[in-house]
């Protein structure tokens, strides 16, 4: 623990949990306002594209090769040096552990060399605060976190205080986008490619299964949709039909996200009577315009305000990690230099332990 900060903090953020090597410098003012001085993202897409997905060993090696240059580029762009920093925040999980270790070790080295506090940040907490980057979004809020590895609904009450309302029981929404896109022969990463193909397509062109309709909880499931869409993709010929299939898949994923969010909003509103209701969507899938539109509609219908991070902060970046670290430092929380890299690290550890969505031996979402 360090003493709480009441002065502006300048935090270097590092993100290496998947296929982006990212570094950013964020200034958190004493009033809580966040200012992004730089956000550098080095993508490894070209290295993984020939394999149609992220190869963990290639990712880890690429992070090692570029982390120092990317951190220095972030400092240069921000017009500051290591000596000006008040803390270092590095993603410590969940993610591909070889990559996580690279960013976390680099962060530890900077912290040790410069005598700075280190914050070992949960990547999901980074996504959770991403809508607070450059926008006035106070706590508490209801969050839908949708990315390639995660799909969950969380009640976010403050720094490090999250309660899980629902989670995926199989694939994450971004994973469904990626796998269906791959089955349709689209390039990696599939989500954005599928959104482009869907433009002008008929979202009612193909009938796809609607999942878990009988269930009253806020959990998601995309594996049935994925299997049905992959089967349809085999028989689809011609550009118009491909556009229709892409539009139908996108609409089906968006509809499930909206349906479960609607249910969570109703429960959340009941628990927060008389308070401002805010709904936030974050993570890579939040970059999808159809997804944003249906979620915004659901929020308005339930009396919630709607917020989503700017597009650059939807997908993985280090500005969100720097801000999550700065918010922890501001309330006096930091981590020891022997903090470990964690492949799995649920935000709401209590709920995940009490009611696991994945039983031992089954593969599933990372948190």
* Residue 317 Cβ vs ligand KG4, minimum distance, rounded to whole Å: 8
> Which strands make up the sheet holding 9-15, listed edge to edge?
34-43, 20-28, 9-15, 87-93, 118-122
**Which residue's CB is nearer to Zn ion, number 10 or number 96?**
96
- Are 322 and 26 within 8 A, CB to CB? yes
Q: What are the phi and psi torsion angles at 278 (to 5°)?
A: -125, 135
Q: Which does 281 bind (CB under 5 to 8 A by kind): ligand KG4, Zn ion, none?
A: none
Q: Which does 261 bind (CB under 5 to 8 A by kind): ligand KG4, Zn ion, none?
A: none
Question: Among 117, 140, 284, 309, which residue interacts with ligand KG4 (rule: CB under 6 A)?
Answer: 284
Q: What are the phi and psi torsion angles at 248 (to 5°)?
A: -65, -40
Can you tell me the distance from the alpha carbon of 142 to that of 306, in angstroms, rounded to the nearest whole number? 10
Does residue 213 sit in helix, strand or coil?
coil
- Residue 287 lies near ligand KG4 (rule: CB under 6 A): yes
Q: Which residue has the tokens 């799909």?
A: 151
Q: What is the DSSP letter of 311?
A: G
Q: Which does 183 bind (CB under 5 to 8 A by kind): Zn ion, ligand KG4, none?
A: none
- Residue 149 lies near ligand KG4 (rule: CB under 6 A): yes
Provide the binding-site residues for Zn ion, judged by CB under 5 A: 147, 316
Q: Which does 296 bind (CB under 5 to 8 A by kind): ligand KG4, Zn ion, none?
A: none
Which of these ranges, 8-16, 191-199, 261-269, 342-350, lies near ligand KG4 under the rule CB under 6 A?
A: 191-199
Closest residue by Cα to residue 329 from 16, 32, 82, 14: 32
Q: Which does 97 bind (CB under 5 to 8 A by kind): Zn ion, ligand KG4, none?
A: none
Going from the C-alpha of 303 to that of each of 16, 152, 185, 277, the distances in angstroms are: 37, 21, 41, 7
* Residue 275 Cβ vs ligand KG4, minimum distance, rounded to whole Å: 29
Residues 7-26 that bind ligand KG4 (CB under 6 A): 18
Interaction site with ligand KG4 (CB under 6 A): 18, 147-149, 174, 177-178, 189-192, 195, 283-285, 287-288, 315-316
């Amino acid at each position: 623990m360090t003493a709480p900060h009441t002065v502006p903090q300048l935090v270097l953020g590092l993100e290496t949990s998947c296929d982006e090597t990212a570094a950013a410098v964020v200034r958190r003012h004493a009033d809580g306002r966040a200012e992004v001085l730089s956000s550098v993202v080095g993508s490894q897409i070209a290295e993984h594209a020939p394999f149609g997905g992220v190869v963990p060993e290639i990712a880890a090696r690429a992070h090692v090769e570029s982390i120092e240059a990317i951190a220095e580029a972030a400092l240069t762009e921000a017009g500051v040096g290591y000596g000006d920093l008040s803390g270092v925040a590095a993603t410590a999980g969940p993610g591909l552990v070889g990559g996580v270790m690279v960013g976390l070790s680099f962060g530890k080295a900077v912290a040790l060399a410069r005598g700075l506090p280190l914050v070992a940040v949960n990547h999901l907490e980074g996504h959770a605060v991403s809508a607070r980057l450059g926008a006035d979004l106070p706590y508490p809020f209801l969050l839908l976190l949708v990315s390639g590895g995660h799909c969950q609904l969380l009640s976010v009450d403050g720094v490090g205080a999250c309660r899980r309302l629902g989670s995926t029981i199989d694939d994450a929404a971004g994973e469904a986008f990626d796998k269906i896109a791959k089955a349709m022969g689209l390039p990696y990463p599939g989500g954005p490619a599928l959104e482009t193909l869907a433009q002008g397509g008929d979202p009612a062109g193909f009938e796809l299964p609607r999942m878990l309709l009988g269930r009253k909880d806020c959990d998601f499931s995309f594996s049935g949709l994925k299997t049905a869409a992959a089967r349809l993709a085999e028989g689809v010929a011609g550009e118009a039909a491909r556009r229709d299939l892409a539009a139908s898949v996108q609409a089906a994923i968006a509809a499930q996200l909206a349906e479960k969010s609607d249910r969570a909003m109703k429960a959340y509103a009941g628990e927060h009577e008389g308070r401002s209701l805010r709904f936030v969507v974050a993570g890579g899938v939040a970059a999808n315009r159809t997804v944003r539109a249906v979620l915004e509609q659901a929020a308005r219908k339930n009396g919630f305000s709607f917020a989503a991070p700017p597009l650059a902060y939807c997908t993985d970046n280090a500005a969100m990690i720097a801000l999550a670290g700065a918010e922890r430092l501001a309330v006096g929380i930091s981590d020891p230099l022997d903090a470990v890299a964690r492949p799995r690290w649920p935000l709401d550890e209590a709920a995940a332990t009490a009611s696991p969505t994945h039983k031992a031996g089954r593969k599933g979402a990372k948190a």
